[in-house]
A and B are shown apart, each in its own frame.
Chain A
C-alpha cells in the first residue's frame, strides 16, 4: 500500500525557513514540499526546482496562433472568396498583421494559463491537501513525506532541531498526486 504519511514543520519567517531547508537537506532528508503564503525569493534555488517549461509552451502556442491566423486570412482573401476592395491587392500582408498579432497573444495566453493549471493540478473543484490553513496567511511549512516508518522519529527530531515552532505528524485522507 502506498504510504500517505507526512511530517510538517512550521516556521514564521522566510529567512529562517530557507536556513532550515538547507540544514535539513544537509542531513540527507528529502523535502516533499514547502508551503508559503507568497513566493519566497531564493526558494527555487534551495529546493533545486527545475525551471518551468511554460515559456516554451507559450512560445509554441503563440506561434501556432499567429501562423493559423495569417494562413486563414490569406486563404480567405486569395482562394476562398477574393473580394475587391478599391482595387487593393488580395494578398495584402500589412492589413493581416493586427489580427495575426492578436491571435498570437490570445493563443499564448490561454495555453499558458491552461498549462499552468494542468501542470499544477489546479482548477475549479480541485482538492489538494492543505496541511495547515495558516500557510496562506503568514506561516511557512516544510513537508517531509515518510516512506520508511522507522525514519519518522529521526525526521521529527531534525525538524525540531532546525527551529520549527510546531512539528506535526499528518495523515491526510486524500492523496496528493500533483504537488
Chain B
C-alpha cells in the first residue's frame, strides 16, 4: 500500500499491539495520582455548590434568579445551548468523521464521545430546573393523563425535548457499544477479584469472535449514519427554539446552519482543552499527537469562519430587511448597553480562530490551548448575546430592563462544571480513554513502526 510521505504517522514511537494496550490501560490500572484526587475534589466542591443553588431554586422558586418579565431567558438557557453545543463535537468526530474515513478520529473519538454524553447531561439540567417544579418535568411528554391534554407537537420546545433525549440515548448506545471490546480487554488483563467480575459484567461477555466483529462493524457504521443527521438535527431544533419566534434578532432563517457550525466549533475547542491536558496527564503523547491537534485546529478554522460569516450575514440581513425593529435589535446588540458582550464574542469567535491559518500556531500546543479557551468563552457569550440582547429591549420601551445573574444562577453554572469534571475524572479513571481496538486497526497503515521512511513505498 502506498502512503504519501505527507501523511504523518497517527501513532508515533514504533508501537506493537501489546504496547498499545499497555500504554492506554496502564494509567487506569495503577493508583490514581494526587492530581486526580485534587481535580475530582475541586469538581465535587463545585458540584456541591451547584446542588445547593439548585435546592434554593426549587425551594424558593425561580424568583431566586434575576429573570424578570422582559428577560425571561437568561443564564439558564445560555448555559443549556452552550453545553448542548459542546456535545456536538463528540458525535461529529465519532460519526461524521467515521463516514468520511478520517483515521485520525480513532485517537480522540472515545473521550470526545464521553464528553458529549456528559455535556448533554449538563445541558439537560437547565430546562428541567428552569421549569421551577422539576418533579413535574414528565408533563412535557405525551402520555394519556387525567388532564386530558396532549402536548403541543407544533412547538419547537417539545421538539427539543424529543431531540435531546434521542440524542442522549443514541450517543450512550453508540459510545457503549464501542466500549465493550475495550472493557473486555481490561477484564482479561485483570487477575481474579471483584474488579474482574465488574468489568466482566460490563463487557457483556465480549470474546472478540470474528462473527461478532463483523456484526459490530456493520452496526457501528449504521449507527454512525444515523448519528450524523441526528447531530445536525439537534442543534437545528435548538436554534428553532429561537428562530420560530417573532422576536427581532431571533426570527431568522440563518439560525439552523449557523447554530450547527457554532456547536461543532465550540465542541472542538472543548475537546482540545480537555485533550491537551489529558494526553500529558496520562502519557498518551504517542497516540494524541501534534498532528491530531493540527487536524482539529483545521476543523476549528472551517467552522469558526462559517460562524464569522453568519454574524456578518445577520447584520446585513437586518439592514436589508428594512424592518426598523430588526435593525434596532442589531444596532443595540453591537453598540447598546451589552456592547462589551458582543465584542467579546466577536474577538473570541471571529478573530482568534483565524490565527490557526499559521502552521506554527496550529501546531503549538500552548497556543492552541489558550485559543481553545478563548473560543469556549466566545461561544458562551454568543448565546448570551443572542438571548439577552434580543430580549432586554422589547417592543415597549417602558419595559426595557437590564439583566445580570443572581448568585444562584452563577452557582448552578459552576455546578454543571462540577458535574462535567466529576464525571470526566471518573471516566478517565475507570474506562480506556482511547479506543484501544480501533487504534490497533490503524496501526499497520498509520503506525510509525510500520511506515518507516524506507518502507513507505514497498508495501
Asked whether A and B interact, the reply is yes
Chain A residues proximal to chain B, CB less than 8 Å? 14, 33-41, 43-44, 47, 49, 51-52, 54-55, 58, 62, 72-73, 76-77, 80-81, 83, 85, 88, 92, 95-96, 98-99, 101-103, 105-106, 108-110, 112-113, 116-117, 119-131, 133-138, 179
A105 touches B184 (CB 8 A): no
Query: 6 smallest A-B Cβ distances: which pairs?
Result: A126-B205, A138-B17, A133-B188, A38-B440, A39-B213, A98-B159
A116 touches B208 (CB 8 A): no
- A126–B422 Cα gap in the complex (Å)? 30
- A34–B217 Cα gap in the complex (Å)? 16
A36 touches B213 (CB 8 A): yes
B154 touches A88 (CB 8 A): yes
Stretch at the interface among B116-124, B226-234, B304-312: B226-234
B415-459 vs A, CB cutoff 8 Å, 1 = contact: the mask equals 000000000000000000000011011001000000000000000
Chain B residues proximal to chain A, CB less than 8 Å? 16-18, 21, 142, 148-150, 152-154, 156, 158-159, 162-163, 166, 169-170, 173-174, 177, 180-181, 184-185, 187-189, 201-202, 204-219, 222-223, 226-227, 229-230, 233, 237, 240, 437-438, 440-441, 444
Cβ distance A46 to chain B, nearest Cβ, rounded Å: 9
A110 touches B173 (CB 8 A): yes
Among the listed B181, B204, B226, B441, which residue makes an inter-chain contact with A105, where contact means beta carbons less than 8 Å apart? B226
- A119–B177 Cα gap in the complex (Å)? 14
Residues from chain B with a CB closer than 8 A to the CB of A35 are 207-210
> If A44-B214, A109-B226, A112-B223 touch, does A92 touch B162 (CB 8 Å cutoff)?
no
25 contacts between A and B (CB under 8 A): A34-B209, A34-B210, A35-B209, A35-B210, A37-B185, A37-B208, A38-B437, A39-B214, A39-B437, A52-B214, A52-B218, A76-B142, A83-B152, A88-B154, A92-B154, A98-B159, A98-B162, A103-B162, A105-B229, A106-B169, A106-B170, A109-B227, A112-B219, A116-B216, A126-B204
> If A102-B166, A112-B222, A137-B18 touch, does A95 touch B205 (CB 8 Å cutoff)?
no
Residues from chain B with a CB closer than 8 A to the CB of A135 are 188, 207-208
Residue of A nearest to B169 (CB): A106
Cβ distance A173 to chain B, nearest Cβ, rounded Å: 15
A96 touches B153 (CB 8 A): yes
- A74–B417 Cα gap in the complex (Å)? 41
A101 touches B440 (CB 8 A): no
- A14–B148 Cα gap in the complex (Å)? 62
B208 touches A136 (CB 8 A): yes
Residue of A nearest to B174 (CB): A109
B188 touches A130 (CB 8 A): yes
> If A38-B440, A110-B173 touch, does A122 touch B206 (CB 8 Å cutoff)?
yes
A49 touches B204 (CB 8 A): no
- A83–B437 Cα gap in the complex (Å)? 53
- A167–B174 Cα gap in the complex (Å)? 36
- A101–B148 Cα gap in the complex (Å)? 26
A119 touches B208 (CB 8 A): no
A85 touches B188 (CB 8 A): no
B218 touches A137 (CB 8 A): no
Among the listed A34, A44, A85, A136, which residue makes an inter-chain contact with B152, where contact means beta carbons less than 8 Å apart? A85
A124 touches B201 (CB 8 A): yes
A119 touches B215 (CB 8 A): yes
A128 touches B222 (CB 8 A): no
> If A98-B159, A99-B159, A102-B163 touch, does A130 touch B213 (CB 8 Å cutoff)?
no
> If A37-B185, A38-B440, A102-B163 touch, does A109 touch B207 (CB 8 Å cutoff)?
no
Residues from chain B with a CB closer than 8 A to the CB of A43 are 210, 213-214
Among the listed B163, B177, B212, B213, which residue makes an inter-chain contact with A113, where contact means beta carbons less than 8 Å apart? B177
Among the listed B159, B180, B211, B226, which residue makes an inter-chain contact with A179, where contact means beta carbons less than 8 Å apart? B211
B18 touches A136 (CB 8 A): no
A127 touches B205 (CB 8 A): yes
Among the listed A49, A55, A124, A137, which residue makes an inter-chain contact with B214, where contact means beta carbons less than 8 Å apart? A49
